[in-house]
């Protein structure tokens, strides 16, 4: 009997899960609450651990058409823009890991994925009711559906998580991100290349890279604030507040901040790893089960890895869905917790005040950061390999 899978959420994680589960032979439906598949969002970094999965699913060529392949990772100092470390990407990444490092617009990636897997939009799941034989799903407006397997890929505020685990506390990190996309022509006079650049300073940092085949520069500026009550992707920030926060910075950063006309403001919340995230035939994926700060640029990548591992577990053991989900969780838990930890650590590292600790950080970045064996565990991981083999 073909397993009927319902994926709740048509974000990056849900769409990749839909595609991977179909390719694994399941009968899959993807339910998205929004009235249309979203073009909302800005830049997403896709490291080789994610692009390896997209290649295996057959969508990498289409993703690549709208992407930018950065030439290098750069860390720069806040006040004079001095390069602290620069790691060449492109050919070295391909030769080390057999897959590219890409920058994409979230909307471009979602559009490619939504072409490959049908999505039922306008379907907001409000309850999940596991029964003896299968699971009933309830949607806003009264619609009901049934499935043998439910995957909650419904993001950081997951309804499915609330049903199976109860509400988990989120902690405001004190970090607030202003972000936006600047047309390339507006920054043509600035020395910003096709790099992945992080500019670190006391209590703040700025990240920029091009997306959409180089037409747009994605800029994220993170500052520290005392309190916040929302966790939304669509609130606007005050450009004057942003300019004040970066007033003493290198002129390139000030020019980028000036060019962000209507930045979105996005508070950053953190959650410690959950002990578990599956219950019988219901499981979670992506931000629903391991939300992370964006400082490792791995939120989307980990959701993509989850999808690949989930599909592999179900392909092998679709006759016993709960056992397959338990195996999926086991294979994913420690790795995603490690990436959450890495991202949390960067929250402190990126914002150190001038002084000895900052100098030690900069010396460490200059000597160890890059495509060293230290990063193989992250970029070299192959979720399609049963043993999670590391390429290098």
Ligand X SMILES: Cc1cc2nc3c(=O)[nH]c(=O)nc-3n(C[C@H](O)[C@H](O)[C@H](O)COP(=O)(O)OP(=O)(O)OC[C@H]3O[C@@H](n4cnc5c(N)ncnc54)[C@H](O)[C@@H]3O)c2cc1C
> Counting runs of H as helices and runs of E as strands, what totals does the chain give?
12, 19
**Least distance (Å) between residue 141 CB and ligand X:** 12
Residue 163 sits in the site that holds ligand X (CB under 6 A)? no
Give yes or no: 209 in active site. Answer: yes
Exactly one of 20, 30, 44, 206 binds ligand X (CB under 6 A); that residue is 44
**Least distance (Å) between residue 306 CB and ligand X:** 8
Exactly one of 281, 299, 380, 383 binds ligand X (CB under 6 A); that residue is 299
Cβ distance to ligand X smaller for residue 344 or 391 = 344
Binding mask 192-231 for ligand X (x = CB under 6 A): ----------------------------------------
Cβ distance to ligand X smaller for residue 154 or 329 = 154
Instruction: Give how far the C-alpha of residue 341 lies from the chain's centroid of Cα atoms, to the nearest Å.
Output: 15
Residue 33 sits in the site that holds ligand X (CB under 6 A)? yes
The stretch near ligand X (CB under 6 A) out of 40-48, 69-77, 315-323, 327-335 is 40-48
Residue 263 sits in the site that holds ligand X (CB under 6 A)? no
Residue 40 sits in the site that holds ligand X (CB under 6 A)? yes
Residue 31 sits in the site that holds ligand X (CB under 6 A)? yes
**By CB neighbour count within 10 A (0-12 exposed, 13-18 middle, 19+ buried), where does 71 fall?**
middle
Cα(84)–Cα(366) distance, integer angstroms: 6
**Least distance (Å) between residue 355 CB and ligand X:** 30
Active-site position among 101, 209, 295, 328: 209
Residue 233 sits in the site that holds ligand X (CB under 6 A)? yes
Residue 21 sits in the site that holds ligand X (CB under 6 A)? no
**Least distance (Å) between residue 358 CB and ligand X:** 26
Q: H or E stretch including 307?
A: helix 299-317
Place of tokens 């993170």: 222
Residue 70 sits in the site that holds ligand X (CB under 6 A)? no
Residue 143 sits in the site that holds ligand X (CB under 6 A)? no
The torsion angles phi and psi of 121, rounded to 5 degrees, stand at -90, 165
Could you tell me the CA-to-CA distances from 236 to 173, 222, 239, 292 in Å, in that order? 19, 14, 9, 22
The torsion angles phi and psi of 148, rounded to 5 degrees, stand at -90, -20
Sheet holding 27-31, edge to edge: 119-120, 27-31, 4-8, 149-152, 282-284, 278-279
Cβ distance to ligand X smaller for residue 97 or 277 = 277
Binding mask 100-119 for ligand X (x = CB under 6 A): ------x-------------
Residue 13 sits in the site that holds ligand X (CB under 6 A)? yes
Cα(242)–Cα(224) distance, integer angstroms: 11
Residue 237 sits in the site that holds ligand X (CB under 6 A)? no
**How many positions of this chain bind ligand X (CB under 6 A)?**
33
Residue 290 sits in the site that holds ligand X (CB under 6 A)? no
Exactly one of 3, 5, 7, 11 binds ligand X (CB under 6 A); that residue is 11
Could you tell me the CA-to-CA distances from 29 to 112, 130, 132, 167 in Å, in that order? 17, 17, 21, 26
3-state secondary structure of 87: strand
13: CB partners within 8 A, 6+ apart: 153, 285, 286, 287, 288, 300, 303, 304, 306, 307
DSSP states along 243-294: HHHTTTS-HHHHHHHHH-SS-EEEEEEE-PPPS--EETTEEE-GGGT----G
The stretch near ligand X (CB under 6 A) out of 50-58, 121-129, 271-279, 334-342 is 121-129
**Least distance (Å) between residue 352 CB and ligand X:** 23
The stretch near ligand X (CB under 6 A) out of 9-17, 73-81, 93-101, 374-382 is 9-17
Cβ–Cβ < 8 Å for 9, 119? no
Q: Which residue spans within the chain are E strands per DSSP?
A: 4-8, 27-31, 43-46, 72-77, 83-88, 102-105, 119-120, 125-130, 135-139, 144-147, 149-152, 171-183, 196-201, 204-211, 216-224, 235-236, 264-270, 278-279, 282-284
The stretch near ligand X (CB under 6 A) out of 111-119, 153-161, 235-243, 343-351 is 153-161
Cβ distance to ligand X smaller for residue 41 or 100 = 41
Residues classed as catalytic: 209
Contact set with ligand X (CB under 6 A)? 8-14, 31-34, 38, 40-44, 106, 123-125, 153-155, 159, 233, 286-288, 294, 299-300, 303
């Amino acid at each position: 009997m073909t397993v009927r899978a319902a994926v709740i959420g048509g974000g990056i994680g849900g769409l990749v899960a839909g595609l991977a589960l179909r390719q694994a032979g399941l009968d899959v439906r993807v339910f998205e609450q929004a009235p249309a598949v979203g073009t909302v969002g800005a830049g997403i970094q896709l490291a080789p651990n994610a692009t390896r999965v997209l290649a295996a699913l057959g969508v990498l060529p289409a993703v690549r058409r709208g992407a930018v392949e950065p030439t290098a990772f750069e860390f720069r100092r806040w006040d004079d823009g001095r390069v602290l470390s620069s790691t060449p990407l492109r050919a070295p990444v391909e030769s080390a890991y057999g897959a590219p490092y890409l920058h994409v617009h979230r909307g471009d990636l979602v559009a490619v994925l939504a072409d490959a897997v049908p999505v039922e939009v306008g379907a907001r799941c409000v309850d999940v009711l596991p029964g003896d034989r299968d699971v009933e799903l309830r949607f806003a407006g009264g619609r009901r559906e049934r499935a043998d397997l439910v995957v909650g890929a419904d993001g950081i505020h997951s309804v499915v998580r609330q049903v199976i685990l109860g509400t988990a506390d989120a902690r405001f990190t004190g970090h607030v991100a202003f972000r936006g996309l600047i047309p390339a022509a507006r920054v043509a006079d600035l020395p910003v290349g096709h790099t992945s650049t992080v500019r670190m300073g006391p209590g703040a940092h700025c990240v920029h890279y091009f997306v959409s085949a180089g037409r747009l520069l994605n800029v994220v500026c993170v500052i520290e604030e005392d309190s916040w009550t929302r966790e939304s992707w669509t609130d606007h920030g005050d450009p004057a507040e942003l300019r004040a926060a970066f007033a003493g910075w290198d002129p390139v950063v000030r020019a980028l901040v000036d060019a962000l006309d209507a930045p979105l403001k996005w508070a950053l919340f953190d959650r410690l790893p959950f002990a578990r995230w599956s219950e019988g035939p219901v499981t979670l994926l992506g931000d629903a089960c391991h939300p992370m700060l964006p400082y490792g640029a791995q939120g989307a990548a980990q959701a993509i890895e989850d999808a690949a591992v989930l599909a592999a577990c179900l392909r092998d053991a679709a006759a016993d869905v709960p056992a397959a989900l338990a195996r999926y969780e086991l294979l994913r838990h420690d790795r995603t917790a490690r990436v959450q930890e890495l991202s949390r650590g960067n929250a402190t590292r990126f914002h150190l005040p001038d002084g000895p600790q900052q100098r030690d950080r900069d010396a460490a970045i200059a000597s160890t950061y890059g495509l060293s064996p230290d990063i193989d565990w992250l970029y070299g991981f192959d979720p399609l390999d049963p043993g999670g083999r590391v390429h290098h």
